Structure 1
Amino acid sequence: MSSLVPLDDPADPRLADYVQLREVNLRRLLEAEHGLFIAEGDKVIRRAADAGYEPRSFLLAPRWLESLHEVLAKWPDKPVYVVSEELAEQVTGFHVHRGALASYRRRAARPLTELLRDAPRRIAIFDDIVDHTNVGAGFRAAAAMGVELVLVTPTCADPLYRRSIKVSMGTVFQVPWTRLDTWPGDLELLQDSGYVAAAFALTDDSITLDDLAARHDERLALIFGTEGHGLKPHVLDKADLTVRIPMAGGVDSLNVASSAAVAFYATRP
């Protein structure tokens, strides 16, 4: 069993990893500086552990010690800070659902060229999606629909931010992903590797999702743009084709995560 450390002071410096989890800018700086991310909830903590991530520490209400025993037993040298749920709320800045958190070490990003060696048939690209909920939901849809690789552009929200991880239900640990170095420059590498770049946008020359599915392309890179404004013109110019999802009932578009889920399902092998 890991070392149990009861704490009752919200200002204890050992709790620094968990301070003000809702402050996005603060967390971005802290997590980048220390190379960490936060997993919230027992299921997500387990999935991070199963994926082989190394914990820095755990922050648990007493009732979770028994159910997470197997996870804690794998890391006997990692501290388990045992706190009341009230203290956890003071430290994190919100009511911690189920009173279970863990701080994990990030891994170095894998290069795109390395990830392409596995020859994934379908790739999802999330471009400039700034809402962490949408990023997490997009990853969950990718995992559920068998998308084999997710790429995020330089301006996309962090898939390992706590909210993204929680919404993804930990599937961000399941689907291989990396952040692109240049965009849309890296699209040329995908096209040279045999991928058809299909950008989802409402343009005059767009084809329907049904038309795309009927093509049965061997390799697809499905590109989704930011909330509201969608993909920028210079990205659309580099894509091989643009795709729209037919709508009914006077609806002009779907939430980006919903659109991705529909597209992933329609293009499944």
Structure 2
Amino acid sequence: METIKISDLNTEELSIFGETSEIQLYRYYEPEPGIFIAESPNVVMRAIEAGHVPFRMLVEDKLYDKEIPPIVSELDRLHGPESTAGLTVYVGDHETLKDLTGYALVKGLWCAFRRSPVMGLREFCEGKRRLAVLFDVVNPTNVGAIVRSAAAMGVDGVVLTHGSVNPLYRRASRVSMGTVFQIPWTMATKDESEGVNLIGLLHEFGFETAAMALTDKSVGINDTRVKNAEKLAIVLGTEGDGLPTEVIEACTHTIKIPMYHGVDSLNVAAASAVAFWELV
């Protein structure tokens, strides 16, 4: 492991922590899987425990002695001493890291990891009974919160459409508190995500589908026909627009959460937690 004190913010190796966008990180080694950045000690440790090995780290100088030794120890334990052989740790003070990353409140620790290929949809769905399906959910905060709720409530896996935010985007993984590394998830391909293709594939794989939407045909999330489904995929849409009409109509069920005091809906992340609690 090599430790380098930052002397030049324009060092090419540091660009992935600051000016490089999430899309650029995702495509970094295209056509091979790219890079993701994990922020904060908790998220970094969850990534390592899930089998990911960092190749570059950025840490605030005053946190080095607290945060780096446990990470190195865990890497050695899980992946052997060779896992840190090519690791480079860049160290800087608070102001330097703030200038580099653009965050006024820096988290003190960033790690860069190579992405792994995602599992194909058919293989991913095998052996699972309860799925969360995120249909074009584009807010990383919502994706992270939904994944965290899915993990906590015992959902077997999360499927995201091609148009959804990737769970390994740094804000999504941070909001999830690292649970993106604790629950299985996959991204449907562009073709699989087109129109109602994904719903059709889930039906083909033996799942009933439940669209969370407010329509005249919606039933409560405690409806026994939904709760008793042997295999169920709970389909959630993006904040504001919700699910496309064609997707709602293609689903086996349309479900809603009973509301009071004139409230007609919840944030999609909050609604997901309620639905998972009731239906898993």
Q: TM > 0.5 between the two?
A: yes
Decide whether aligned partners of structure 1 residues 204 and 104 sit closer, same or farther in structure 2, where only a CA change above 3 A counts: same
Does residue 240 (structure 1) correspond to residue 240 (structure 2)? The answer is no
Does residue 111 (structure 1) correspond to residue 110 (structure 2)? The answer is no
Does residue 45 (structure 1) correspond to residue 44 (structure 2)? The answer is yes
Decide whether the 8 Å contact of 1:212 with 1:243 is kept in 2: no
Does residue 8 (structure 1) correspond to residue 7 (structure 2)? The answer is yes
Deviation at 1:80, TM superposition (A): 0.7
Deviation at 1:108, TM superposition (A): 0.7
Deviation at 1:56, TM superposition (A): 2.2
Decide whether the 8 Å contact of 2:40 with 2:109 is kept in 1: yes
Equivalent residue in structure 1 for 2:25, among 17, 22, 30: 30
**Structure 1: distance between partners of 2:3 and 2:105:** 20
Deviation at 1:188, TM superposition (A): 1.9
Equivalent residue in structure 1 for 2:111, among 98, 102, 117: 102
Aligned residue number for residue 233 of structure 2:
221
Aligned residue number for residue 70 of structure 1:
70
Does residue 174 (structure 1) correspond to residue 173 (structure 2)? The answer is no
Does residue 146 (structure 1) correspond to residue 161 (structure 2)? The answer is no
Amino acid in the other structure paired with 1:92: T
Flag structure 2 segments of 5+ consecutive residues without an equivalent. 76-83
Q: TM-score, normalised by structure 2?
A: 0.89
Decide whether the 8 Å contact of 1:41 with 1:98 is kept in 2: yes
Superposed CA deviations along residues 187-217 of structure 1, whole A, max 9, x for unmatched, are 2222122211000000111111111577421
Deviation at 1:70, TM superposition (A): 3.1
Aligned residue number for residue 133 of structure 2:
125
Q: TM-score, normalised by structure 1?
A: 0.92
**Structure 1: distance between partners of 2:275 and 2:151:** 13
Amino acid in the other structure paired with 1:5: I
- The runs of at least 4 consecutive aligned structure 1 residues that moved more than 3 Å come to 212-215
Decide whether the 8 Å contact of 2:210 with 2:226 is kept in 1: no
**Structure 2: distance between partners of 1:191 and 1:261:** 23
Decide whether the 8 Å contact of 1:5 with 1:79 is kept in 2: yes
Aligned residue number for residue 265 of structure 2:
253
**Structure 1: distance between partners of 2:106 and 2:267:** 26
Larger deviation: 208-217 or 156-165?
Answer: 208-217
Decide whether aligned partners of structure 1 residues 101 and 140 sit closer, same or farther in structure 2, where only a CA change above 3 A counts: same
Decide whether aligned partners of structure 1 residues 215 and 225 sit closer, same or farther in structure 2, where only a CA change above 3 A counts: same
Superposed CA deviations along residues 220-255 of structure 1, whole A, max 9, x for unmatched, are 100000111110011112100100110001100000
Decide whether the 8 Å contact of 1:60 with 1:101 is kept in 2: yes
SS of 2:38 mapped into structure 1: strand
Amino acid in the other structure paired with 1:72: V
SS of 2:90 mapped into structure 1: strand
Decide whether the 8 Å contact of 1:130 with 1:156 is kept in 2: yes
Deviation at 1:84, TM superposition (A): 1.2
Deviation at 1:54, TM superposition (A): 2.2
Equivalent residue in structure 1 for 2:204, among 192, 196, 205: 192
Give me the CA root mean square deviation. Answer: 1.6
Larger deviation: 255-264 or 179-188?
Answer: 179-188
**Structure 2: distance between partners of 1:161 and 1:10:** 23
